[in-house]
């Protein structure tokens, strides 16, 4: 995937976790929910309907692998997945790129590297706290990435 595609999705450094033939996985800058990731298509596509069967199959494998890795790494209660392309339309001209947000959800607080993470709205949509971001320092983000990678098995 070209860096310019990722720059459209991220605001700041790209915290790469892994990639597959069709997708790239990186840590979201907002870590209100510990382990929140973004899975972006490597080629340009504006709509989910543009995905090929191979891209869908690859994505399915990523879903299984990432959910398993995050469950092992942080004892996640459940997962929310969202494909929210609407923010691309804030800019003129609009330039959406297919990507997915994986938001781990936690019934109980989780302690990681002396930080206690409390799911700000367990049982509800995270959109209600969308404006409140938790941007951690690079060292902590690297530790989160390492913990995910240590538990991630991609075929």
pLDDT score, position 5? 58
Calculate the alpha carbon distances from 9 to 3, 32, 100 in Å: 10, 18, 10
Residue 112 to residue 116: CA distance in whole angstroms: 6
Count Cβ atoms below 10 Å from residue 138 Cβ, excluding itself. 10
Tokens 């390492």 identify what position?
Answer: 146
Average pLDDT for 130-134: 77
Q: Could you tell me if residue 109 is inside a domain?
A: yes
Supply 124's token pair: 């509800």
Q: Could you tell me if residue 12 is inside a domain?
A: yes
Range of the domain at 16: 3-149
Q: Could you tell me if residue 127 is inside a domain?
A: yes
Structurally, the chain folds into a number of domains equal to 1
Q: How many CA atoms lie within 13 A of 112 on its CB side?
A: 26
Question: pLDDT per residue over 9-55, tens digit each?
Answer: 555 668 999 999 999 999 999 999 999 999 999 999 999 999 999 99
Count Cβ atoms below 10 Å from residue 88 Cβ, excluding itself. 16
pLDDT above 90 for 129: no
Predicted structure pTM score: 0.87
pLDDT score, position 1? 46
Question: pLDDT per residue over 55-101, tens digit each?
Answer: 999 999 999 999 999 999 999 999 999 998 766 555 666 678 899 99
CATH number, domain containing residue 8: 3.30.428.10
Distance of CA 46 to the CA centre of its chain: 18
Q: Could you tell me if residue 107 is inside a domain?
A: yes
Which range among 76-80, 93-97, 116-120, 131-135 shows the weakest confidence by mean pLDDT? 93-97
pLDDT score, position 146? 98
Cis peptide before 93 (omega within 30 of 0): yes
Q: Could you tell me if residue 135 is inside a domain?
A: yes
Q: Could you tell me if residue 24 is inside a domain?
A: yes
pLDDT score, position 6? 58
pLDDT score, position 133? 85
* Residues 144/18, Cβ–Cβ less than 8 Å: no
Average pLDDT for 131-149: 92
Q: Could you tell me if residue 111 is inside a domain?
A: yes
Q: Could you tell me if residue 76 is inside a domain?
A: yes
């Amino acid at each position: 995937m070209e860096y310019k595609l990722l720059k459209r999705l991220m605001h700041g450094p790209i915290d790469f976790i892994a990639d597959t033939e069709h997708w790239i996985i990186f840590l979201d800058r907002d870590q209100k929910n510990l382990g929140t990731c973004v899975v972006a298509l490597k080629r340009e596509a504006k709509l989910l309907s543009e995905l090929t069967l191979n891209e869908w199959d690859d994505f399915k494998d990523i879903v299984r692998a990432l959910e398993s890795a995050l469950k092992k790494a942080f004892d996640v209660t459940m997962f929310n997945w969202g494909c929210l392309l609407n923010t691309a339309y804030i800019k003129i001209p609009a330039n959406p790129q297919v990507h997915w947000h994986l938001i781990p959800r936690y019934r109980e607080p989780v302690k990681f590297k002396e930080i206690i993470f409390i799911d700000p709205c367990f049982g509800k949509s995270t959109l209600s706290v969308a404006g409140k971001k938790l941007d951690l320092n690079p060292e902590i983000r690297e530790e989160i990435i390492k913990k995910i990678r240590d538990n991630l098995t991609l075929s």
